[in-house]
């Protein structure tokens, strides 16, 4: 069975894993390639997947809760690290993704444009890669947990 034979959710999880692995390795060419693959999936599938993984990582890395200083630190650390090897990293896109993972959508209230799928696919793995090393579990755990959460929420929404 090849990757193409897998259902879209499994393929999107594999693409997300490849993008985060490239971000962890600080490999701009691999990240760009993986992000292009990831962006090819339906954003209503990949957005929640990446957002749930990011939210879980934020919650686990800040067990006493998140405050503005914590979020600023995550944003600054990720931005500095990414700009060292990925010149197109955009702090505003990182901020919108970070806020969105927490259920805050600044573009709705402040007129900020929602980042296109390609930008989300490039930037969300940067945030995930920045948080993953401080947790005690591997990426697969978070991808599987996010998938279970998506499946549960879709089951609850079904008539």
Question: What's the predicted TM-score (pTM) here?
Answer: 0.89
pLDDT at residue number 70: 95
DSSP annotation of 133: G
Summarize pLDDT for 126-140 with one digit per residue, the tens: 999 999 998 889 999
Reply yes or no on whether the pLDDT at 154 is more than 80.
Answer: no
Predicted confidence band of residue 107 (pLDDT cuts 50, 70, 90) = low
What are the Cα distances from residue 2, in Å, to 38, 69, 139, 156?
Answer: 17, 44, 21, 31
What average pLDDT does this structure show over 99-121?
A: 80
């Amino acid at each position: 069975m090849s990757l193409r034979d897998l259902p879209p959710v499994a393929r999107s999880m594999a693409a997300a894993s490849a993008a985060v692995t490239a971000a962890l390795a600080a490999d701009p060419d691999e990240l760009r390639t993986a992000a292009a693959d990831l962006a090819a999936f339906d954003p209503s599938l990949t957005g929640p997947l990446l957002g749930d993984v990011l939210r879980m990582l934020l919650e686990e890395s800040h067990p006493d809760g998140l405050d503005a200083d914590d979020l600023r630190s995550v944003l600054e650390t990720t931005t500095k690290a990414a700009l060292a090897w990925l010149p197109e990293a955009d702090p505003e896109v990182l901020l919108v993704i970070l806020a969105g993972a927490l259920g805050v959508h600044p573009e709705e209230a402040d007129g900020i444009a929602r980042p296109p799928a390609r930008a989300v696919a490039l930037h969300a793995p940067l945030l995930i890669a920045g948080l993953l090393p401080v947790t005690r579990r591997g990426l697969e755990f978070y991808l599987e947990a996010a998938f279970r959460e998506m499946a549960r929420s879709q089951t609850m929404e079904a008539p």
